[in-house]
Amino acid sequence: MKLFLLATLNGITVAGLYFIVAIGFTLIFGLMRVINLAHGSLYILGAYIGYDVATSTGNWYLGLAAGGVSVALAGLLIQSTLLDRIQGQEMRQSLVAIGLSIVIADLLLARYGGLAYQFDPPAILYGSVPLPIVRAYPTFRLVVVGAAVIVGLVIWLLVYRTRFGIIIRAGVDDRPMLSALGVNVPLVSILVFGLGAGLAGLAGVVGGSALSISPGEDARYLLSSLVVVIVGGMGSLSGTAIGALLIGLAEQIGLAYFPTYSVIVSFVIMAAVLALRPQGLMGRPE
């Protein structure tokens, strides 16, 4: 009972992290049809920048903000100088993004080396909280879930309750028509890319505090984002949440009960979804 409860809690908390990373990924895909294969690099870039700011100022919250804002700016730059020029050419955009991710990974390795880094979050977020049955649970993991819920709500409000959101949704459905109505679609694309990138950077700081930052995390979170959005449905907010929960729970419950095969569980889920509902659980058919 205790083990099951702990594994479930762990699954939900890890899902929170996957959600924050994948939501930016799915936003970018939804509007621009770009599979941003540099998304993992943006995650790790935000983590390292946030780490520098947090350690030099001694303030974890500043680090969090810096991770999000700086990577959002980097995203604006990437979209406006590189990807926007080749809009609509998926293969080229993917290749440019892969190239970019390799360059970023090597630059970060040169600057930060291979050692793992860890944030030192404020004591109030860091200890453990008493809970029934499982006794103590790390506070920060609950913070991750809280952060995911807030991010999810804000994005939902933005997309479904604001004028900017209407433009984004219209862009998802019919780009040329939106453009004909006088909306500056490239500008909207740049802003959405910045937003998605910023979320990846933010997730970097959150993930780096819950676990640690080290080279290779970029590929790991890119992969988890891909699996989450494939399961949930590309471009769908609720799908991303469901996908993240499914994958997080499968991973942790697998690790608790059948560790040898836990690695393949997420891929089995992905294969099943692709076979039965190729557009993802909440995705719309093409």
Q: Which residues bind other proteins (CB under 8 A)?
A: 2-3, 6-7, 10-11, 13-14, 109, 113-120, 126, 128, 135-138, 140-141, 211-212, 214-217, 220, 251-253, 255-256, 259-260, 262-263
Residue 92 Cβ vs other proteins, minimum distance, rounded to whole Å: 23
| Pick 120 or 174: Cβ nearer other proteins | 120
Question: 183: buried, middle or exposed (CB in 10 Å: 19+, 13-18, 0-12)?
Answer: middle
* Helix (H) or strand (E) run with residue 185 in it: helix 185-210
Q: What is the DSSP secondary structure assignment for residue 181, as one 8-state letter?
A: T
| Pick 117 or 156: Cβ nearer other proteins | 117
Residue 3 Cβ vs other proteins, minimum distance, rounded to whole Å: 5
Q: What is the CA radius of gyration of the chain?
A: 19
| Pick 82 or 219: Cβ nearer other proteins | 219
Residue 146 Cβ vs other proteins, minimum distance, rounded to whole Å: 16
CB neighbour list of residue 125: distance below 8 Å, 6 or more residues apart: 60, 139, 140, 143
| Pick 218 or 229: Cβ nearer other proteins | 218
Write b or e for each residue in 35-44: b if 16 or more Cβ atoms lie within 10 A of its Cβ, otherwise e. bbbbbbbbbb
| Pick 239 or 254: Cβ nearer other proteins | 254
Q: What is the DSSP secondary structure assignment for residue 283, as one 8-state letter?
A: P
The residues pairing with 9 across neighbouring beta strands, listed in sequence order, are none
Residue 109 Cβ vs other proteins, minimum distance, rounded to whole Å: 7
Residue 286 Cβ vs other proteins, minimum distance, rounded to whole Å: 33
